[in-house]
A and B are shown apart, each in its own frame.
Chain A
Amino acid sequence: MSGAAPHLVVRSISKRYGPTTVLDHIDLTIRRGELVTLLGPSGCGKTTLLRAIAGLAQPDSGKVELAGRDITHVPPHKRNVGVVFQSYALFPHLTVAGNVAFGLKVRGTARREINAAVERALSLVKLGHLAGRRISALSGGQQQRVALARAIAVEPDVLLFDEALSALDRKLREEMQVELRRLLQDVKATAIFVTHDQDEALTMSDRVAVMNKGRIEQLAEPRELYLRPASLFALNFVGLSTRISGTVLAADNGKVDVETKVGRLSALGNFQAGSPVIVAARPEQLRLGEQSEANSAAGRVRSVVFQGSRTLVEVDAGAGESLLAELSERDGAIPRVHDEIRLSWPVTETFAFPMEAQA
């Protein structure tokens, strides 16, 4: 965390719709130029939080500050935010250039400045040659770029993306993720993405906020989020994992020994003896064979899924527990279905989470 001044500050925002709490005292601070993703399943409150920042949803309590100004009660048209909507929300009666110019026209900007800004924004998204086109004559990917150009053209204090890439097909989406991140970094934009797509979150963001039931479960850099998930929910939502339930036998200084149905395992975590826990590890930590000072479990291979650069092997460890290992051809032969194998993984990459927190 650098010492840059906070640019967008969300202070203890809450929002209820009838009996449902959509946002539960959310705090979030974003620095200038930072790209942050709100990641979570549908109904976790991520879109409502975005709308509260845009001014399209009024929070019941809490405050929003943008660029040093309290905007909690400022209507959307005076907030100077740029929003890219999931449906793109392009104006069908205007051309590409007309859409991009809209925000500046409304602001009463001089025509010469508008033309220059439109040209700049369109060339940024590589659509300069389509300025005169009708919106209906564009492909989905092109519409997405127009929506981005329209939001950027007004030079907003923060750009908000509401599932903005989810309507694109997979290949185009993956290309756009990389391109969009580079573009936003080039123009030094501060941006918040809302998505339920973990790959998008990991690819595009400086930090990811994993949301669940109106709360932020973890706010961390993508790498830390994956390697050190703060909760079972974060672990489950980002990436794959092996999860085994058990009971803590002994606890010692941030480490616990856990009795499970596949044997005794050690994990990182602070619990009292007797606590029910889930022990978890990422699949790439699991290796064939024994290792010293490591957890290990044996079982029969249930399925082998080849995914190009990696192969996922699922092992039935008995008693309803299973292990998930990501193996590479480089580390030896990939086992076959029905093979009896033993897998081991380092204790320092094994985490224990409280059982009752399971989502």
Chain B
Amino acid sequence: MMIRAAIVVCWVMAIGLALFLIVPLLVIAAASFSPTPVFDLPLTGASTRWYGRIGRLDGFWPSLLLSLQIALLSTAISLVSGTLAAIAIARGKLPGAGIFATALVSPLMMPGLVLGIALLQGFRAVGFTMPGATLLVAHLVITLPYVARTMIAGLARFDFTLIEAARTLGCTYPGSVLRVMVPALAPSFLIAGIFSFLASFDNYPVSIFLADVRTKTLPIRMLQYIEEAPDPTLAALSTLILTGTVILLFVSDRVVGLHRMAGTSD
């Protein structure tokens, strides 16, 4: 009887929490189709006019472009440098490898606000004040931990004998890395890349300290919109971003399996 009750409680928790996480997303999607400027349930009809307005938001296109640029650039740099660092750590011959691993992943555990202030002060102290560049470097701090974490885990499962096998089969050393190590690690690269991209793309607390008038990322711009004119245009934009993310996750699931991305199974 007790066991049954416990199972029921756990089921209720699982279903309840899933709803708790998903319902707000459904609400914002519903709100984006609201026919009236003020969102109200129940809906009385549907309209797509808010989607048409997204492009006309003040400063939307430069902000979107900037956010995409920063996210793609920081992800690319993180993937290359983070993977090299992860190799040194995963091969285990580096003294104090564990300390380096913790250090690389540590920004994940730091509040974004603290990170933002720290970076702002730090950059000022060394006289590094180029607007776009500071933002990019700050986003490297955000994205590197995701890459490092995923690649250290991926490399821990990678058998370096594979490279030796390729060499004895006729591959040069660089050839072996390209033909064997890179494809064998492709799932890890994909996972690391997606998480890193998303983390950079929607970052607010760090970006806010380093943005100026010309370098406002999309999240900063969105918060500004909601303060100025809270109409369903923002809900429409959010729904688009959400849809994009879902498509990205769906495609990666087809390629590598979502359970591996979530870390819930091997």
Contacts and interface: CB of A to CB of B under 8 A. Distances in A.
Interface in A75-93: 75-79, 81-83, 85, 87, 89-93
Interface stretch (B4-12, B47-55, B178-186, B239-247): B178-186
Contact of B167 (A56, A91, A92): A56
Give chain B's interface secondary structure class.
helix
B14 to A, nearest CB: 29
Given A93-B183, A93-B184, A87 B168 contact: no
Contact of A102 (B159, B164, B166, B186): B166
B165 interface: yes
Contact of B184 (A82, A83, A91, A154): A91
A87 B161 contact: yes
Interface in B148-177: 159, 161-162, 164-173, 175
A56 B168 CA distance: 8
B266 to A, nearest CB: 11
Given A89-B159, A91-B184, A93-B184, A83 B170 contact: no
Contacts of A91: 162, 165-166, 180, 183-184
A89 B161 contact: yes
Contact of B161 (A79, A85, A106): A85
Contact of A75 (B159, B165, B172, B180): B172
A78 B172 CA distance: 9
B170 A106 contact: yes
B184 A55 contact: no
Looking at chain B, what size class is its interface with the partner chain?
10 to 19
A150 B162 CA distance: 13
A53 to B, nearest CB: 10
B255 to A, nearest CB: 12
A77 B180 contact: no
B169 A154 contact: yes
The residue among B168, B170, B171 with the most chain A CB atoms within 10 A of its own CB is B168
A276 interface: no
Contacts of A83: 164-165, 168
Interface residues of A: mostly helix, strand, loop or mixed?
A: loop
A171 interface: no
A78 B173 CA distance: 12
B168 A106 contact: no
Nearest to B162: A89
A325 interface: no
Nearest to A51: B164
Interface string A45-83: 000000000111000000000000000000111110111
A103 interface: yes
Nearest to A76: B167
A75 B168 CA distance: 9
B164 A154 contact: no
A129 interface: no
A330 interface: no
A56 B170 CA distance: 13
A107 interface: yes
Contact of B168 (A81, A90, A93, A107): A81
A79 B168 CA distance: 8
B184 A56 contact: no
Nearest to A106: B170
A77 B184 contact: no
A91 B171 CA distance: 13
Contacts of B173: 75
A106 B172 CA distance: 10
A91 B165 CA distance: 9
A77 B159 contact: no
Interface in A141-172: 150, 154
A56 B167 CA distance: 9
Contacts of A76: 164, 167-168
A77 B162 contact: no
The 4 nearest A-B residue pairs measured at CB: A103-B169, A89-B165, A106-B170, A89-B161
Interface of A: 54-56, 75-79, 81-83, 85, 87, 89-93, 102-103, 106-107, 150, 154
30 contacts: A54-B168, A55-B167, A75-B167, A76-B167, A76-B168, A77-B168, A77-B169, A77-B171, A77-B175, A78-B170, A82-B168, A82-B169, A83-B164, A83-B168, A85-B161, A85-B164, A87-B159, A89-B159, A89-B162, A89-B164, A91-B184, A93-B184, A93-B186, A102-B166, A102-B169, A103-B169, A106-B166, A106-B170, A107-B170, A154-B170
